[in-house]
Each structure stands twice: as C-alpha cells, then as structure tokens.
Amino acid sequence: MEAATILARSLGNLLRYFQGERHHLDTLQHNRQKELEEAMLATHHAIVETNKYLEKFRDKELHDMYSSQDRDIEYKLSELWAISAIRSSKFIDATPDYVKSREWLNGIRWETWNMRQERLDSLGISLEQIQERLEQTMKDYSIIIKKQ
C-alpha cells in the first residue's frame, strides 16, 4: 500500500510539473505571437506614413519638391522605420527597414530621385518590395492586420 501511495504522489507531482511547463510554453508562444503582430504592424505603419508623405511629391517639378520637403516628417519616418527594424529583427532580416531609417535620417536629394528608386529596387528595399515581404510574412505566420 505504501508503494502505491508513493507512486501516486510521484505521478501527481510529475503531472503538476508538466502542466506548469505547458502553461509556461503557452505563455511564451502567446508573447511571441504578440511581438510578431506588433512588428508587422510597425512595418505596416511605416509603409503607410511613407506613402502619405511621398504622395505630395507625385508629379511635381524639382523646385516644388524642395519647397515641399519637411525634415520633421522625414525624421519621424526615420524613427518609424527604425522601430520597424528593431521589432522585426527577431523574426526576419530587418536590414531593409534599417536602410529606410538611415535614408530618411540622411535626407532625400530629389534630383537623384529616379536613380534612388532604381537603387532601392536593385537592393530589394523599395516600398513595394517591403510591402510584399510584409504580406508574405503575414501569410507565413497567419496574421491579419486590422486596417487603420
């Protein structure tokens, strides 16, 4: 009888241990999913804000581009891309986001705009390419970002 009691107590302790481990793993998985969603949302936000800023330059002459340039917004875009890079780096190669951050920090020279676009395309870091990467990552991790 004593052996059965010891065995039952041991099995009970073992069961509690595994339940605790399971809870711990569930919490870790939940936290990682939340971090991934926040990273993807940060990238999405950086893309949206960048597109909004660039929209005002569409079809403008060079001198109009310079007069419309807003360094405060460009610094904010640099910050958004840096946040995206930091949050995304746990899950994917965040180099494109970091390059975007540096690009806005350094400022845009509008006379080289076409060359810049070609360079970004060749490096795989144009906004369109980053948007595609975001969408693929969302598919890979089965994430749906709510529209803002």
Digit-coded pLDDT (tens) for 82-102: 999 999 998 888 888 888 898
Which residues, 6+ apart, have CB-to-CB distance to 104 below 8 Å?
Answer: 74, 75, 77, 78, 81
Measured distance CA(66)–CA(5) in Å, rounded: 83
Which residues, 6+ apart, have CB-to-CB distance to 39 below 8 Å?
Answer: 84, 87, 88, 90, 91
Measured distance CA(97)–CA(21) in Å, rounded: 36
Percent of the chain whose pLDDT exceeds 90: 24
Residue 108 has pLDDT above 60, yes or no: yes
Burial of 70 (0-12, 13-18, 19+ CB in 10 A): exposed
Tens-place pLDDT, residues 65-78:
777 788 999 999 99
Tens-place pLDDT, residues 16-67:
877 777 877 777 788 888 998 899 999 999 999 999 998 887 777 766 777 7
Higher-scoring residue by pLDDT: 126, 109: 126
pLDDT of residue 78: 95
Whether this model's pTM surpasses 0.75: no
pLDDT of residue 122: 81
